[in-house]
Structure formats: C-alpha cells, structure tokens
Structure 1
Amino acid sequence: MPVKPAGLPEVIGKFFDAKNVHDADAVARTFAEGAHVEDDGKTYRGRQEIRDWSAKESGGVQIVLTVTEATHHGREAVVIADASGNFPGSPLAFVFRFQGTHDDFSEINHLAIELKQ
C-alpha cells in the first residue's frame, strides 16, 4: 500500500514506498544526482552509493517502515517512522530528516537518519 502522509511532498511517499518493497533502484531515483544520505555514522554520496546503501541495508532483513509523525516546511521535512521486521529490538523508531532540492521538493537532496531518542 503506497505511503502518502498528509502534507508531505510526493517524493517522500515514493521513498517510503520503495523502501518497503526493498527496491533500491526506486529509492535511488527519489534522490538528486548529487544528493547524500547520512545513516549509522556513514555518508553515502550520489545515486549509485545511495542505491548500494539501500540494497545493503535491506539485505536479509525484511523491514517495513510505518510513518507515525511528519512535518514539512519549505525544503525541509521531518518524518518519524517505526521500523519493524526480523531484526533484534524490532520495532524501533527512527527520525528521517529530509531536505529537498527545489521549492517544489521534486527530489531529495539530503537525508539524515537517526534512532529516535
């Protein structure tokens, strides 16, 4: 089922949809060519590294992300999502901090992911 949290740019819904079906290519397409992702103390730059990060992150672990809260102002959006699956500690809540490339937020330019405290 597609994710379209109310008030969020369409590309963020596409990101979560792609993550939930473990489609690394579709995840990468939601990002601008020069985008970067910060996750677990590492930075991934450009669509190819982002694609590889997404594929590796999903490898062997069936994770489903469920958006529980979301805010959007201009080129920035913050999403809290529960990650559930076959991993220790499931479910865990994560904060996804998105920055868009343009005023219309047509692509993701930056994403920082952290465990919700």
Structure 2
Amino acid sequence: MTPELPTPIAEFVEANARLDVDAMLKPFAGDAVASDMGKSHEGHAELRTWFEEEVIAVKAIFTPDTARNENGQVVVEGSAHGDFKGSPIRFTYHFDLEGDAIKTMEITA
C-alpha cells in the first residue's frame, strides 16, 4: 500500500514509476539540491543528468511503503528495483519542501 504523500513528493514518485525525467524534475525547485551516496546535485540541469545516468539508465523505480514527518522533514522509506546490483534495495528519502516544491532530497540506503 502506498502511503499518503505530499503532492510534490507523490508527483516525483509517480513520474519515477514511469521513468519520465521531465515529470521527475517538475516538482523540484529550480535551485533544489539532491544528495545520493555522498554526491550532491544542484539545480535542474544537474538533477536531469543524475536522473538520466543513475535512475533511467538502470530503470531504478522507488516504491514507498512508509512516510512520516520527522524534525520538519518528510521521511519516506521503501524499496527500489531495477537493473542494478543488489536490486531490490531499501532506501530512505528525506525531503524538505518549500511551498509546493521539493527543496532538498537526501537518499540513504
């Protein structure tokens, strides 16, 4: 069962399920920062490259199963599956929202 998510996060998850890069970018603020495996990606251009190289290329789809608010962040947990070593892997996403946009996203395994 998919947990109830704030609109921008739900839009990101739904776009990821379709592997749609343009739709994945849409809910992010123009100056958003995403961190994954110790690497940071800032702004839509860097996010697009990261999504294309690290998500689309291996068909990595994140399926959330829990969500909670923690210290002002939305914390979403679930598994990602795709054409990558160790698939599926459980991940935790930490989101900061600003208005109707994702301002930061940090992914940990």
Taking structure 2 as the reference length, what is the TM-score of the superposition?
0.88
Equivalent in 73, 77, 80 of residue 80 of structure 1:
77
RMSD in angstroms over aligned alpha carbons?
Answer: 1.9
Structure 1 residue runs without a partner (length 5+): none
- 75 and 30 in structure 1: CA distance in 2 versus 1, 3 angstrom threshold: farther
Instruction: State the identity as a percent.
Output: 32
Q: Would you say 1:61 and 2:55 are equivalent positions? A: no
Instruction: Show the 5 A alignment for 1:1-117.
Output: 5-6=3-4, 8-72=5-69, 76-102=73-99, 106-115=100-109
Scaled by the length of structure 1, the TM-score of the pair is 0.83
Distance 2:15 2:55 in 1: 11
Q: Distance between the aligned counterparts of 1:31 and 1:59, measured in 2?
A: 17
Greater displacement, 35-44 / 74-83: 74-83
Q: Is the 8 A contact 1:35 1:47 kept in 2?
A: yes
- Which consecutive segments of 4 or more residues in structure 1 shift more than 2 A? 72-75
Counterpart Cα distance in 1 of 2:70 and 2:60? 28
| CA contact 2:60–2:82 (8 Å) conserved in 1 | yes
Give ranges in structure 2 of 5+ residues lacking alignment: none
Q: In 2, Cα distance between the equivalents of 1:64 and 1:50?
A: 16
